[in-house]
Amino acid sequence: MAYSQQPPSSGYRVPLMTGSSFPHGQAGQPPFNDLDGSPVFVGSALFEKSVHPCKIAPNLSSPCLVPYGGGEHLHNGRYDLLPFDSNTMEWVSTSYGQVPQGRRPVEGGYEEDGAKLYHAAAVVNGIKVPGKTGTHLRGANVSFGGGEHVIQDQYDILCWRS
């Protein structure tokens, strides 16, 4: 039986833990590739008092990487994979923490103070890298090469298709 119910604001997630095997059959197509061509996925890392959008690179020994506090941090513990579905989601260009008018972003988490975080993607050294954005961040924060890069202009935010 088909139904037209909208997915939850954060999408349907696949829960994972540090050390668990990557669910290739549930992951869908990778929205990004690393420098070596290996797949990179989008997810959310769960912390004690917050949830942060992250990148998931299954080829790494610690696949969940979070941009935070100026660095690229390996996350230990629970994280959720967001399978990218081009039928229901799309990357939309934006700048300076703005949600494009008339668009509904895919929620990726929240800060300790409750401020919403969304999935973002920005180009660093010629590679499109997933990360996080929020109106309070005034840009996209992405992790790459061990550091956190802040891109304020011309990055993408993941939105639900209208």
* CB of 131 closer than 8 Å to CB of 71: no
Q: Which domain holds residue 48?
A: 14-160
Model's pTM, two decimal places? 0.93
Alpha-carbon span 10 to 37, nearest angstrom:
27
Any domain includes 9: no
Q: What is the dihedral of CA 74, 49, 53, 99, to 10 degrees?
A: -150
Model confidence over 90-143: pLDDT tens digits?
Answer: 999 999 999 999 999 999 999 999 999 999 999 999 999 999 999 999 999 999
Q: How many domains does the chain have?
A: 1
Q: Residue 9: phi, psi to the nearest 5?
A: -55, -25
Any domain includes 3: no
Model confidence over 31-90: pLDDT tens digits?
Answer: 999 999 999 999 999 999 999 999 999 998 889 999 988 999 999 999 999 999 999 999
